[in-house]
Amino acid sequence: MTRSGADFIAGLRDRRNVFLDGERVEDVTTHPAFAEAVHSVARLYDFAHDPANRELMTYPSERDGRPVNKSWLVPRTREDLAARRRAIKAWADLSYGLMGRSPDHVASFFAGFAGSLPFFARGGQQFADNLARFYAKAADEDLYLSYAIVQPVIDRSKPAHQQAEPYLYAGAAEERDGGIVVRGAQMLATGGVMSDWCYISVILPLQPGDEDYAISLVVPLDAPGLKLYVRRPYARTVSSVFDYPLSSRFDETDALVVLDDVFVPWEHVFVYKNRELCAGQFSVTAAHVIGNTQAHIRSWAKLQFLVGLVRRICEANGQLAKPEVVAQLGDLATRVSLVEGMVLAAEASAAPDEFGVMRPTDAMVYASQVYQQQMYPELLNAIRAMMGGSVIQLPASVADLCSPATRPDLERYVRWPRATAVERIKLLKLLWDLIGSEFAGRHLQYEMFYAGEPNAIKGREYRSFDWAAADALVERCLNSYDLDTVAASTRLPAPQPT
Ligand SMILES: Cc1cc2nc3c(=O)[nH]c(=O)nc-3n(C[C@H](O)[C@H](O)[C@H](O)COP(=O)(O)OP(=O)(O)OC[C@H]3O[C@@H](n4cnc5c(N)ncnc54)[C@H](O)[C@@H]3O)c2cc1C
């Protein structure tokens, strides 16, 4: 059943080990580095929990009929995909697409896993049962899962089992009564500090000998031995919400996950020492395309927000009347429409997979991913080119606007034809937080890498593209002429002997 934001926050007050500046964070819900982001996620839960949004955001549980967030819905029809899209978009709009790993992201992966139980049964029926049980619990309890499925960059020239010491990368180090001991590190749990459970696995290819590292499991955030080392948070150092409206409220954080001999009961293990199944989770099952469809819907919201803001700025500075500015805005809007169009195309051409999951078309999802990884940096550059120095010529902080000593000059010299100083500064500080601040820099890195190393995504596109259809066209064309047909043609000149 869906939970309220208050219930979500209460659930985070546990013994989790989040480390910042060399110290354990006592309570992530009140610490200035995380509190605002926690409340931004709480607002998502409140929205889905509101009876007014029940139809949009939930579906009745198969188990007891109570409302479950739609991100857990295993899509069996195209209408299921459309219903998931509407719910995901509504959530993404609430954070302006700035929380990439909101709870619906990993939930979408688990919807794909749960629809593919026979796949997990290939490793033993108990693993499929574990998954089914955990999925039901997570959906019914409306849990927030983060994930760390990439091995940390230590020595990528060597496979996991040949690193400088064993279990630098997270792996199954021992079996004990009732479960396994997991040791090592994994990156990069976005949202980890405010999630309830972390899904640990590996999406990178594993080599023979890497079997210990071929695992797929979940751990609660307060599991003894689980530690999260967060990167520099942005919220606690910004001067005000007015100066940094996004850094202050939507920094979902990213963390290195260290598993210091974490005991994981068997019931939380879904793949155990099986390289083929570990990789297949993200290619044979629909989880990766369903999860990344969520990511693209979120991206679509962010792009809408970004170009909407740029248009608002052009309106305020009086540039909207210029044909060249209209063309530039049309160019920005084209990119948003392409991302939206790819989400809809993958959904409209979806087909049931071997497990009966309605799978968005892989080639569309990965083409969009490749496109977005390249497009986002170009988009930011195009916006910077439109803005010139005005995004820099801004008062150091909102204090300049509040002080009678400085405000008159700002009102006089920092204005636009259609905007007062306060309106202009508000718009431009918001834009800078989206394209130029440290928060924005992290977002740029995120959009370029969140789904994986770009060549790996191109490889997925290569493997899913319909080469047979492309090749059939080439074959038909090649077969439509040869030396004889050219010689026999009455309409074209025959080749002349040389
Ligand atoms: C902000 C952010 C949030 C993230 N959140 C999550 C998360 O929530 N969960 C999660 O599991 N992961 C997350 N990730 C991790 C992400 O999945 C990885 O960063 C991504 O898979 C790329 O892997 P990598 O960082 O090891 O880059 P690398 O694979 O090291 O690639 C870096 C660069 O090196 C190049 N390169 C790599 N190998 C070669 C080679 N052999 N020859 C030539 N060039 C090469 C690549 O093309 C690329 O340009 C996040 C990443 C970022 C940046």
Torsional sign, CA 206, 210, 213, 216: positive
- Of all atoms in ligand 1, which is nearest to the CA of residue 452? 21
For residue 265, being part of any structural domain is answered with no
Closest approach atom of ligand 1 to CA 204: 21
Mean local confidence (pLDDT), 92-111 = 98
Torsion 465-471-477-480 (CA) sign: negative
> Separation of 194 CA from ligand 1 center, angstroms?
23
For residue 186, the CA-to-ligand 1 centroid distance in Å is: 12
Q: Which of 114, 90, 97, 101 is nearest to 197 (CA)?
A: 101
The closest of 125, 103, 127 to 198, measured between CA atoms, is 103
CA 172 to centroid of ligand 1, rounded, Å: 23
Which helix (H) or strand (E) element contains residue 262? strand 255-265
Q: Closest Cα partner for 80 from 89, 70, 65?
A: 70
- Across the range 268-292, mean pLDDT stands at 98
How much is the average pLDDT of 82-97? 98
Judge if the beta carbon of residue 84 lies within 6 A of ligand 1.
Answer: no
Q: Residues 89-114: what's their mean pLDDT? A: 98
418-477, pLDDT tens digit by residue?
Answer: 999 999 999 999 999 999 999 999 999 999 999 999 999 999 999 999 999 999 999 999
- Can you list the alpha helix ranges (DSSP code H) found in 194-286? 275-280
Take residue 385 and report the two structure tokens written for it: 């080119």
Is 148's C-beta closer than 6 angstroms to any atom of ligand 1? yes
Query: 3-class DSSP state for residue 39?
Result: helix
Chain center to CA of 92: 11
30-44 pLDDT per residue, tens: 999 999 999 999 999
Instruction: Name every residue whose Cβ is closer than 8 Å to that of residue 215 and which is 6 or more positions away in sequence.
Output: 170, 171, 172, 180, 182, 200, 201, 202, 269, 271, 272, 273, 278
Binning pLDDT at 50, 70 and 90, where does residue 494 land? low
**Token pair belonging to 34:** 């995380």
Q: Name which of 298, 192, 299 is nearest 253 in CA terms.
A: 192
Tally of structural domains, the chain? 1
How far apart, in Å, are the Cα atoms of 210 and each of 120, 181, 258, 327, 481?
Answer: 19, 16, 19, 53, 52
Which residue out of 204, 438, 453 has the highest number of ligand 1 atoms within 8 Å of its CB and is therefore the one to mutate?
A: 453
Residue 424 in tokens:
């202009």
What confidence score (pLDDT) does residue 497 get? 65
Residue 239: inside a domain, yes or no? Answer: no
Q: Provide the residue range defining the domain that includes 297.
A: 287-467
pLDDT > 90 fraction of the chain, expressed in percent and rounded:
96
Q: Is the CB of 446 under 6 A from ligand 1?
A: yes
51 pLDDT above the threshold of 70: yes
Write the residue with the smallest CA distance to atom 6 of ligand 1: 188
**Residue of the CA atom closest to atom 37 of ligand 1:** 453
CA 405 to ligand 1 centroid distance, Å: 49
Q: For residue 460, what are its two tokens? A: 């997925």
**Residue 332 within a domain:** yes
pTM: 0.96
Closest CA to 80 of 115, 50, 29, 45: 115
Residue 21 lies in a domain: no
Residue 147 is assigned to a structural domain of this protein = no
Q: Specify the pLDDT at position 44.
A: 98
**Dist. CA 352 → ligand 1 center (Å):** 31
Q: How many CB atoms lie within 10 A of CB 5?
A: 19
Pairing of strands 215-220, 197-200: antiparallel
Structural domain contains residue 473? no
Give one DSSP letter per residue of 386-441, joined into a string.
Answer: HHGGGGTSS-SSTHHHH-TTTHHHHHHHS-BTTB-HHHHHHHHHHHHHHHTSHHHH
pLDDT tops 80 at residue 348: yes
Strand partners, 352: 358
Q: Is residue 71 part of a domain?
A: no
* Cα gap 210→207, rounded to integer Å: 5
CATH code where residue 349 lies: 1.20.140.10
Q: What is the mean pLDDT of residues 66-76?
A: 98
How high does pLDDT run on average in the chain?
96
What is each CA distance from 466 to 13, 96, 292, 341, 471, in whole angstroms? 49, 34, 20, 19, 9
Instruction: Bin 77: left if φ > 0, else alpha if -120 < ψ < 50, else beta.
Output: beta
The protein residue with its alpha carbon nearest to ligand 1, atom 21, reads 452
The residue written with tokens 């718009």 in the block is 427
**Dist. CA 449 → ligand 1 center (Å):** 5
Give me the mean pLDDT over the 343-356 stretch: 98
Cβ of 153 less than 6 Å from ligand 1 = yes
- Quick check: helix, strand or coil at residue 139? helix
SS3 content of the chain, % helix, strand, coil (to 5): 50, 15, 35
As a whole-number percent, the residues of the chain with pLDDT over 70 amount to 97
The pick from 145, 146, 188 for probing ligand 1's pocket by mutation, whose C-beta has the most ligand atoms within 8 angstroms, reads 188
- How do 171-176 and 17-20 pair as beta strands? unpaired
Q: Helix (H) and strand (E) counts for the chain?
A: 18, 14
| pLDDT band (50, 70, 90) for residue 485 | confident
**Domain presence at residue 440:** yes
Contact 293, 370 (CB under 8 A): no
- The mean per-residue pLDDT over the stretch 212-221 comes to 98
Helix (H) or strand (E) holding 59: strand 58-60
CB 101 within 8 A of CB 145: no
What was the pLDDT predicted at 268? 98
| Whole-number pLDDT of residue 484 | 83
Nearest to 278 by CA among 186, 370, 192: 186
